[in-house]
Amino acid sequence: MCVSQCQPRYVKIRDTGNCLACPFDCYTCDNLTKCLTCNNSADFRIYNPTSKRCVPLDGYYENNVTIAALCPTNCSLCQSLTFCLNCSKGYLGPNQLCGDCPERYFSNNVTKICIRCPYDCYTCDGNNKCLSCGASDFRTLTGSRCVANQGYYDDGVNAMSVKCSPTCFACNSSNTCTQCYQSSFLDLSSQCVQNCGVRFFINTTILKCQSCPYDCYTCDSSGLLCSTCNFTTDFRTINLTSMRCVPSDGFYESSITVSAPCPTCCATCTSSTQCTSCKTSCYLNLNFSCLTSCPNRFFKDNSTWRCVSCPYDCLTCDANRSCLTCSTDDYRTLVGNRCIPVLGYYENSAQIAAQCSAICSNCTTFTYCNLCTNGFLLRDDNRCYSTCLSSSYSDNATLSCKACPSTCALCQNSTYCTVCTIGNYLRLDNMCVSTCP
C-alpha cells in the first residue's frame, strides 16, 4: 500500500519510498541509526542529544527491546534486574540491590552504600569501630573491638573466633598455647603438657616449663641445681658439692650441654690444648700436651709421668740427666756424658755454644784465647796479635810469643839474642852475658 508518510517507529526511504523500521528505541527517526523523538510514557525512554538515541529513564535499564525494563525495587539507576548502581530508597547492599543493610554492614547515609564492617564486628560505626559482637562468634566487645573469648583465638580473617586446643586455657593460634589449665604446663614449643620432661623444670608460679642449666639432665624446682646428669650422651657426672654436672675424666667444660673430649693421651684437661694429667704410658710436656714419647731435650720421668728438661747442653739425655747425644747446630760434641763446645767455640752455659773471635781457633771466653789461627800469635795476655812485643819472639810451632832470655833486649829465639839489655854484652855465640870472657 502506498502512503504519504510512514507511521511512528518507521522512516521513509527517499530512493525507494519504502517505510523501514527505526532502531528499536526510537519513536520516530530520520534514518536507520538516529532517533528524532522518544515515547517517554510507553517506552520509558528519553532522548540523549549526544548519542541521538532514546535511553532508559531513571529507574529503568537497557534490555535491547523497545520498552525499557524496570529496575529492581528502590533502584534509581541499574544495569540489570539484579545490579543496581544507585538507590532511590535504602542503601546499595553487597548483592547490588537496594534496601536495608544486612548484618555486619554499616549504613553510610552520605553515599547510600552498605560498607562492610571489620571482620570481628557484628555492627560498627563509620570509623570501623565495633558497636556490638555476634553472639555465635565467641567474641566480647572490648573498647572498640570484638576480641576472642577465653579459650578461643582470632585468626585475623573470620568473624567466628576459633576454639583453642582442648589442653589450652588460652592461645593465639591452633598450635600455639599462651596459657594452660592448672593441670598442664606450657613448654617451649607453646604446647600444654602434663610433664616437662628431661632438661626442663616446672615453674609452678607461671605454670611454664623452663630450661634447666645447660649441664643438667634433670634439675630441682629452683632451676639452679642439677638432680641428675647424663654420662652416656653428655659425658658428665654430678659434683655433690656444687650439685652441678661436671665433665667426666677425659672431657672438659665447653659451656654447652655435651662436654668436649680432651686431646688424645690426656686423662684430664681444661681445654683442647691444656692437659692436666695423662693416660698411662703418656707424658705431660711443658706445653701441657700429653705425648707417648718426649721430644728432644726432654727425658721421661716415670715417677711423675712428665717430660722433664735435659741439661741445656744435651740434645737427648737419660733420667740421670747425662747427655746421650748432642746437636751439631749447638756446636757441641759428646765427651763422656756432656756435650762440650767444638773447636772455635766456648762454653757460655747456654744451649748454643758461643763462637770464639775470628782470629782465635780455641778459647775459654771471647777475650781469653788458648790458640790462634794461622798468621796470628798468642801473647801473654791470651789475645792474638799479628806480631810479638820487642822483648819476645814468635814460636811458629805453638803460634805464640815467647819471652827472650832476661839478658836479651831483642832475640830471634831462646838461644839467639841480637841486642842485649843494658849492662850485658853480646858474645860471639849470640848470647848476652854480664862480663866478656
Q: Is residue 6 part of a domain?
A: yes
Number of domains in the chain: 1
* Full-model pTM: 0.51
Dist. CA 318–CA 334, nearest whole Å: 14
Closest alpha carbon to 374 in 407, 405, 396:
396
CATH code of the domain in which 20 resides = 2.10.220
Q: Is residue 14 part of a domain?
A: yes
pLDDT tens digits for range 313-350: 999 999 999 999 999 999 999 999 999 999 999 999 99
| Distance linking the first and last C-alpha atoms of the chain | 202
Q: Is residue 298 part of a domain?
A: no
Q: What is the pLDDT of residue 428?
A: 86
- Report the percentage of the chain scoring pLDDT > 70: 99
Q: Is residue 58 part of a domain?
A: yes
DSSP letter (8 states) at residue 136: G
Dist. CA 152–CA 62, nearest whole Å: 51
pLDDT tens digits for range 140-170: 999 999 999 999 999 999 999 999 988 899 9
Averaged pLDDT in 10-residue chunks for the chain of 437 residues: 78 84 92 91 95 94 94 92 92 93 93 94 94 94 95 94 92 91 89 93 91 96 96 96 96 96 94 93 92 94 93 96 97 96 95 94 93 91 91 89 91 90 85 84
pLDDT tens digits for range 241-275: 999 999 999 999 999 999 999 999 999 999 999 99
Q: Is residue 216 part of a domain?
A: no
Q: Is residue 51 part of a domain?
A: yes
Dist. CA 263–CA 26, nearest whole Å: 105
Q: Is residue 176 part of a domain?
A: no
Q: What is the pLDDT of residue 384?
A: 93
Pairing of strands 200-203, 208-211: antiparallel
Dist. CA 195–CA 414, nearest whole Å: 112
Neighbours of 221 (CB within 10 A): 11
Q: Is residue 36 part of a domain?
A: yes
**Average pLDDT in the chain:** 92
Provide the residue range defining the domain that includes 30: 1-70
pLDDT tens digits for range 58-72: 999 999 999 999 999
